[in-house]
Amino acid sequence: MKPLRTFLVEDNPVISRHLISTLEELGPVQVIGQARSESQAVAWLMQPPPCDLMIIDIVLASGSGLGVLQAAQDAASPMHRVVLTNHATPALRQRCLALGARQVFDKSCELEALIAWCGELGHTRAP
Amino acid sequence: MTSATPPTPRRPVLRRAGPWRTPLAIALALLLGLAMLAGTELTYRRALDSLVSLGGRDSARNAAQTVVRSLLDMESAQRGYLLTGRPQYLDPYKAAGQELDNAVRRLREHHRHDPELLALVERLNERALEKVSEIAETVGLYDAGAHGSWQGLMLTDIGREKMEAVRRATDVLIGTEERRIAGERAAVYRTLEIGRWTVHALALLSLLAYAFFLRKNSALQRSQVRHAEQLQTERDSLEHQVGQRTTALRALAGHVVRTREDERAHVARELHDEMGGLLTAMKLEIARLRRVPELPATGLERIEGIEDRLNEGIAVKRRIVENLRPSALDQLGLVPALEGLCDDASASLGVPVRARLQPVTLGPEAELTVYRLVQESLTNVRKYARAREVWVSVLPDNGQVRVAVQDDGQGFDPDTVPPGHHGLLGMRVRVESHGGELRIHSSPGRGTRVEAVLPAA
């Protein structure tokens, strides 16, 4: 199975490290790049190497994941975007979905769901 | 901040005259008034006495002349009788004698207090009696038929001499009397003169006193004006100081609020980044652990238990972070953050919270102030109001932002907020630190409306 080429937008190095190793270990995921701020992520969006999935945190070192979602939407990016956040309130979920996010996962209690979703995406895309 | 120079102690300007001056002035004024009364009264009485006395002198003079006239009457009656022998000439002779007696009595009566004049009257009386006895003797001789004798007596010229003596005595009396009259008249003039000068002097004194009073009065007025000016200056300076202190306190309160919010944001960030990162990492480790092949069932159970505790820890962390800093405000902006706040409040109050929120342009700090204002007001509604309905509105209004939180609860008297309740004061300070204004409308039983107006960014 061909792994999902994934770009990670996350400002916390501890989380990044563990997330990458977990996703790569448990699912069909290959993290090909990461950004710690909105501007880094947007810059990457402008010259994208081929990529399937973007996992975006909302609270970043500078800027916001919402800005990244907006930029991706504006650029009509074909890649899937999902949000992984500590602040998954209904309002935020709604906003993220409106900005083109496929899913919103709560960092504290929906990690398993993210892993499962990635696996599913890998399977549906495989054939 | 520089403090104004301490006020120099001043002499009490209104008391400079001395406390003893006023009674003295009153006593002097009374004395002056009494002297004026006494002076004019005395002048009047003396003038009156003199005039009465002058009138008396006039009648005394008449009496003296009456003595002479009655003697002349007697003499002419005597001559008529001697020439004609007719007894009817004796009637005027007797009447004149009577008149003479009366005149002398009047003179004595009049001069009874004046020994000198009384002596002159007695002398005149003696001379008159001598003349009367000369006339009586002539008439007696005539009646006795001694014609030669009475003619001889007449020829001796004794009658004329006696009459002359009476005239002299009368002249002396009248002359003396005249001198007395002149003296008394002079006394009247003197009295009038004294009275006149007294009145002039008193009028002059009164004018002086009035001028003095006017001067004092204007000095008093000047000092009052000066005093009022000093008070005004002092009040202005105090107002200025109060203004400065208020501005400084407002700035300080704003600074305290900002520092507190910064501190809270910093702690929230630390908790979110460091603690949150570690907790999420642990969750990820657990996800991997759970997938370890051939894990015994009890191991999986323990893992579940650990994950539950971990989730509780995450929930606690999240609550603390949200309390410290509303993440929605940073991530979603003021309106969604307030919507979330209203939804939460409605759920915890169990009554509808009707939100009317429109996008407004405010700086981040002012947005946080508006958020805290609504949050604090909703907390107050929950704690005290017993409301059945709550309204929250944030609306742009002509370059300003109008924020209101209103309830239909039991209300309160804004003037009698018990001490120790600084919530409203804190709100006011926060709003004023952005150049805004906070108003609280409430009365018992009429609900509460907290309204803030802030300048738009």
Locate the chain A residue with the closest alpha carbon to B339. A91
Tell me the pLDDT band of B5, cut-offs 50, 70 and 90.
very low
Which residue range forms the structural domain that includes residue A35?
4-125
pLDDT: is B234 or B183 the higher one? B234
Q: Residue B440 — φ and ψ, nearest 5°?
A: -125, 120
Fold agreement between B20-223 and B326-455: no
Bridge partners (DSSP) listed for residue B452: B403, B438
Cβ-Cβ contacts under 8 Å, A64 against chain B? 330-331
Distance from CA of A107 to the nearest CA of B (A): 7
What is the percentage of chain B residues whose pLDDT exceeds 70? 96
CB pairs under 8 A between A and B: 80
Contact A19 B284 (CB under 8 A): yes
CA distances from B371 to B346, B363, B367 (A): 16, 12, 6
Question: Which ipTM was obtained for this model?
Answer: 0.90
Q: Name the one residue in this structure whose structure tokens are 């002048």.
A: B43
Tell me the pLDDT band of B98, cut-offs 50, 70 and 90.
confident
Substitution target from A89, A95, A104 for chain B, most B beta carbons within 10 A: A89
Strand, helix or coil at A80? strand
Residue A126: pLDDT over 60: no
pLDDT recorded at residue B4:
44
pLDDT recorded at residue B250:
81
CA distances from B318 to A63, A70, B273, B333, B369 (A): 21, 26, 11, 19, 22
Q: How many domains does chain A have?
A: 1
Per-residue 3-state assignment (H helix, E strand, C coil) for chain B = CCCCCCCCCCCCHHHCCCCCHHHHHHHHHHHHHHHHHHHHHHHHHHHHHHHHHHHHHHHHHHHHHHHHHHHHHHHHHHHHHHHHCCHHHHHHHHHHHHHHHHHHHHHHHHCCCCHHHHHHHHHHHHHHHHHHHHHHHHHHHHHHCCHHHHHHHHHCCHHHHHHHHHHHHHHHHHHHHHHHHHHHHHHHHHHHHHHHHHHHHHHHHHHHHHHHHHHHHHHHHHHHHHHHHHHHHHHHHHHHHHHHHHHHHHHHHHHHHHHHHHHHHHHHHHHHHHHHHHHHHHHHHHHHHHCCCCCCHHHHHHHHHHHHHHHHHHHHHHHHHHHHCCHHHHHHCHHHHHHHHHHHHHHHHCCCEEEEECCCCCCHHHHHHHHHHHHHHHHHHHHHHCCCCEEEEEEEECCEEEEEEEECCCCCCHHHCCCCCCHHHHHHHHHHHCCCEEEEEECCCCCEEEEEEEECC
B259-295: pLDDT as tens digits: 999 999 999 999 988 999 999 999 999 999 988 998 8
Distance from CA of B281 to the nearest CA of A (A): 5
Distance from CA of A77 to the nearest CA of B (A): 22
Substitution target from B311, B332, B346 for chain A, most A beta carbons within 10 A: B332
Cβ-Cβ contacts under 8 Å, B283 against chain A? 107-108, 111
What does the pLDDT average to over B123-149? 87
What is the rounded distance in angstroms from the CA atom of residue A29 to the CA atom of residue A41?
A: 19
CA distances from B433 to B214, B329, B361, B384, B455 (A): 56, 20, 17, 27, 11
For the beta carbon of residue B222, count every other beta carbon within 10 angstroms: 11
CA distances from B436 to A118, B138, B423, B428 (A): 51, 141, 17, 9
What is the rounded distance in angstroms from the CA atom of residue B29 to the CA atom of residue B23?
A: 10
Distance from CA of B367 to the nearest CA of A (A): 18
Task: Please choose, from the candidates B345, B360, B364, the residue with its C-alpha nearest in 3D space to the C-alpha of residue B402.
Answer: B360
Contact A19 B272 (CB under 8 A): no
Tell me the pLDDT band of B3, cut-offs 50, 70 and 90.
very low
For the beta carbon of residue B257, count every other beta carbon within 10 angstroms: 18
pLDDT: is B155 or B214 the higher one? B214
pLDDT: is A61 or B228 the higher one? B228
Strand, helix or coil at A85? strand
Tell me the pLDDT band of A72, cut-offs 50, 70 and 90.
very high
pLDDT recorded at residue A41:
93
Whether A19 contacts chain B with CB within 8 A: yes
Distance from CA of A127 to the nearest CA of B (A): 26
What does the pLDDT average to over A33-60? 89
Average pLDDT over chain A, rounded to an integer: 90
Task: Please choose, from the candidates A62, A76, A49, the residue with its C-alpha nearest in 3D space to the C-alpha of residue A9.
Answer: A62
Does the model's pTM come out above 0.90?
no
pLDDT recorded at residue B20:
67
Residue B19: pLDDT over 70: no
What is the rounded distance in angstroms from the CA atom of residue B401 to the CA atom of residue B454?
A: 5
Locate the chain A residue with the closest alpha carbon to B315. A108
Please answer whether residues B442 and B387 qualify as being in contact, where contact means their C-beta atoms are separated by less than 8 angstroms.
Answer: no
Cβ-Cβ contacts under 8 Å, B279 against chain A? 108
Cβ-Cβ contacts under 8 Å, A26 against chain B? 287-288, 291
B395-427: pLDDT as tens digits: 999 999 999 999 999 999 888 877 777 888 888
B67-96: pLDDT as tens digits: 888 888 888 888 888 888 888 888 888 888
Tell me the pLDDT band of B14, cut-offs 50, 70 and 90.
very low
What does the pLDDT average to over B26-36? 83
Tell me the pLDDT band of B9, cut-offs 50, 70 and 90.
very low
What does the pLDDT average to over B23-41? 83
Distance from CA of B314 to the nearest CA of A (A): 7
Q: Residue A87 — φ and ψ, nearest 5°?
A: -120, 55
Q: Of the CATH numbers 3.40.50.720, 3.40.30.10, 3.30.565.10, 3.60.20.10, which one belongs to the domain with range B326-455?
A: 3.30.565.10
What does the pLDDT average to over B55-64? 81
Tell me the pLDDT band of B2, cut-offs 50, 70 and 90.
very low
Contact A111 B280 (CB under 8 A): yes
Whether A92 contacts chain B with CB within 8 A: yes
List the single residue in B272, B287, B327 with the smallest CB-CB distance to A115: B287
Average pLDDT over chain B, rounded to an integer: 87
Residue A69: pLDDT over 90: yes
CA distances from B339 to B335, B336, B432 (A): 6, 5, 24
Classified by CATH at the fold level, domain B20-223 comes out as: Four Helix Bundle (Hemerythrin (Met), subunit A) (1.20.120)
Locate the chain A residue with the closest alpha carbon to B289. A22
What does the pLDDT average to over A13-21? 94
Strand, helix or coil at A34? strand
pLDDT recorded at residue A8:
95
What is the percentage of chain A residues whose pLDDT exceeds 90? 67
B232-266: pLDDT as tens digits: 999 999 999 999 998 898 888 888 888 999 999 99
Contact A18 B281 (CB under 8 A): yes
Domain harbouring A44, CATH code? 3.40.50.2300
Give the CA dihedral B154, B157, B160, B161, nearest 10 degrees.
-130
Q: Is residue B280 packed enough to be buried (19+ CB in 10 Å), middle (13-18) or exposed (0-12)? A: buried
Locate the chain B residue with the closest alpha carbon to A19. B284
Instruction: Map out the domains of chain B as residue ranges.
Output: 20-223, 326-455
